[in-house]
Amino acid sequence: MAEDSEVTRTTPTRTSQSLALYRKYRPATFAEVRGQDHVTEPLRQALRSGRINHAYLFSGPRGCGKTSSARILARSLNCVQGPTPDPCGVCDSCVALAPSGAGSIDVIEIDAASHGGVDDARDLRERAFYAPVAGRYKIYIIDEAHMVTQQGFNALLKLVEEPPPHLKFIFATTEPEKVIPTIRSRTHHYPFRLMPPSVMRDLTEEILNSEGVPFDPAVLPLVVRAGGGSARDTLSILDQLLAGSDEAGIRYDRAVALLGYTDASLLDEIVGAFAAGDGAAVFRAVNRVIEGGHEPRRFATDMLDRFRDLIVLASVPDAIATGLLDTPPDRVEALTGQAERYGLAALTRAADIVSTGLDQMRGATSPRLLLELMCAQVLLPAAAADERSVLARLERLEAGAAAVGAKRPAAAGAGNAHIERTEVTPAPRPSPPRVERPEPAAASPSSAPPAKPASAAQPASAAQPASAAQPASAALAAGPSGRGSVTTETLVQAWPHVLDAVKAEGRVAAIVIGNASVVSLDEAVLTLRFPRQGDVKGFANSRYEDLLKQVITTMFGINVVVRAVAGGDTPPAGRSGPAPAPPAAPPAAPQEPPASRPTPAESAMPPVSYPQAPSVPDTGSAGGAGGSQGPFGKTAFPSADLPPLPPPPSPDDEEDFDLEDEDMSDSLPHDLSGMALVQRELGGQVIAEYTD
The CATH number given to whatever domain includes residue 116 is: 3.40.50.300
Q: Helices 367-379 and 296-315: crossing angle, nearest 10°?
A: 30
Instruction: Please report whether residue 38 resides in a domain.
Output: yes
182, amino acid identity:
T
CATH number at 214 reads 1.10.8.60
Condensed to tens digits (0 to 9), the pLDDT of residues 2-38 reads 334 333 333 333 344 578 999 999 999 999 999 999 9
Instruction: Please report whether residue 492 resides in a domain.
Output: yes
- Partners of 189 in beta bridges: 57
In the prediction, which pLDDT does 435 show?
42
**Choice among 170-179, 337-346, 378-387 with the minimum mean pLDDT:** 378-387
User: What is the residue-wise DSSP string for 545-585?
Assistant: HHHHHHHHHHHHS---EEEEEE-TTPPPTTSSSSPPPPPSS
Condensed to tens digits (0 to 9), the pLDDT of residues 388-416 reads 566 666 666 666 666 555 544 444 444 44
Output the CA torsion sign for 257, 259, 260, 264: negative
Give the strands of the sheet with 167-173, arranged side by side: 107-111, 138-143, 167-173, 55-59, 188-191
Condensed to tens digits (0 to 9), the pLDDT of residues 614-649 reads 444 444 433 333 444 433 333 343 444 444 544 544
Condensed to tens digits (0 to 9), the pLDDT of residues 51-107 reads 999 999 999 999 999 999 999 999 999 999 879 999 998 999 999 999 888 888 999
Asked if 287 and 323 touch (Cβ cutoff 8 Å), the reply is: no
Q: Helices 507-514 and 544-556: crossing angle, nearest 10°?
A: 90
Share of the chain above pLDDT 90, in %: 34
CB hemisphere CA count around 663 (13 angstroms): 7
Residue 675's H or E segment, with its range, is helix 674-677
Query: Are 145 and 205 within one domain?
Result: no
- By CB neighbour count within 10 A (0-12 exposed, 13-18 middle, 19+ buried), where does 325 fall? buried
CB hemisphere CA count around 560 (13 angstroms): 34
Query: Are 536 and 549 within one domain?
Result: yes
Q: Rounded to 5 degrees, what angle do the CA atoms 136, 137, 138 make?
A: 140
Rounded alpha-carbon distances, angstroms, from residue 6 to 17, 19, 531, 535, 651: 17, 21, 109, 105, 123
End-to-end CA distance of the chain: 132
Q: How far apart are CA 110 and CA 507, in angstroms?
A: 83
Residue 230 pLDDT more than 60?
yes
Q: How far apart are CA 262 and CA 265, in angstroms?
A: 8
In the prediction, which pLDDT does 187 show?
94
- Partners of 564 in beta bridges: 528
Query: Are 292 and 183 within one domain?
Result: no
Q: How far apart are CA 584 and CA 283, in angstroms?
A: 65
Residue 199's H or E segment, with its range, is helix 197-211
Query: Are 296 and 212 within one domain?
Result: no
Instruction: Please report whether residue 411 resides in a domain.
Output: no
Query: Are 377 and 336 within one domain?
Result: yes
Query: Residue 169 — pLDDT band, cuts 50, 70, 90?
Result: very high
Among 187, 109, 107, which Cα is nearest to 143's?
109
Residue 373 pLDDT more than 60?
yes
Count of CB atoms situated within 10 Å of the CB of 201: 18
Number of domains, the chain: 4
- By CB neighbour count within 10 A (0-12 exposed, 13-18 middle, 19+ buried), where does 279 fall? middle
Q: Are strands 525-530 and 517-522 parallel, antiparallel or unpaired?
A: antiparallel
Answering whether pTM is above 0.85, one says no
657, amino acid identity:
F
Among 185, 375, 211, which Cα is nearest to 287's?
375
Tell how far CA 394 is from the center of its chain: 13
> Domain ends where: 236, 259, 282?
259
Q: Is 291 helix (H, G, I), strand (E, B) or coil?
A: helix
In the prediction, which pLDDT does 317 show?
87
Whole domain around residue 207: which residue ranges? 197-259
Residues ≥6 apart with Cβ < 8 Å to 130: 138
Instruction: Please report whether residue 529 resides in a domain.
Output: yes
Instruction: Please report whether residue 452 resides in a domain.
Output: no
Residue 117 pLDDT more than 70?
yes
How much is the average pLDDT of 311-327? Answer: 86
Query: Are 370 and 323 within one domain?
Result: yes
- Partners of 56 in beta bridges: 170, 188
Residue 308 pLDDT more than 90?
yes
Query: Are 203 and 268 within one domain?
Result: no
- 621-625's contacts with Cβ under 8 Å and 24+ in sequence apart are 621/646, 621/647, 621/685, 622/449, 622/647, 623/593, 623/647, 623/648, 624/451, 625/451, 625/452, 625/457
In the prediction, which pLDDT does 399 show?
63
Query: Are 504 and 370 within one domain?
Result: no
Condensed to tens digits (0 to 9), the pLDDT of residues 471-530 reads 444 444 444 444 447 888 888 988 898 998 888 888 888 888 888 899 898 888 889 998
In the prediction, which pLDDT does 406 show?
56
Rounded alpha-carbon distances, angstroms, from residue 591 to 26, 489, 594: 102, 28, 9
Asked if 497 and 555 touch (Cβ cutoff 8 Å), the reply is: yes
Query: Are 569 and 654 within one domain?
Result: yes
Among 517, 639, 533, which Cα is nearest to 582's?
517
| Average pLDDT for the chain | 74
> Domain ends where: 358, 377, 402?
402
Query: Are 569 and 650 within one domain?
Result: yes
In the prediction, which pLDDT does 681 show?
58
Asked if 404 and 421 touch (Cβ cutoff 8 Å), the reply is: yes
> Domain ends where: 368, 402, 436?
402
In the prediction, which pLDDT does 257 show?
87
Query: Residue 137 — pLDDT band, cuts 50, 70, 90?
Result: very high
- Return the HEC string of 648-662: CCCHHHHHHHHHHHH
Query: Are 623 and 662 within one domain?
Result: yes
Instruction: Please report whether residue 5 resides in a domain.
Output: no
In the prediction, which pLDDT does 635 show?
39
CATH number at 371 reads 1.20.272.10
Query: Residue 677 — pLDDT band, cuts 50, 70, 90?
Result: low
Instruction: Please report whether residue 668 resides in a domain.
Output: yes
Query: Are 298 and 211 within one domain?
Result: no
Q: How far apart are CA 579 and CA 602, in angstroms?
A: 8
Query: Residue 307 — pLDDT band, cuts 50, 70, 90?
Result: very high
Instruction: Please report whether residue 94 resides in a domain.
Output: yes
Q: How far apart are CA 539 and CA 537, in angstroms?
A: 5
b/e 55-66 (16+ beta carbons within 10 angstroms → b): bbbbbbeebbbb
Alpha carbon dihedral 611, 617, 621, 626, in 10-degree steps, equals 30
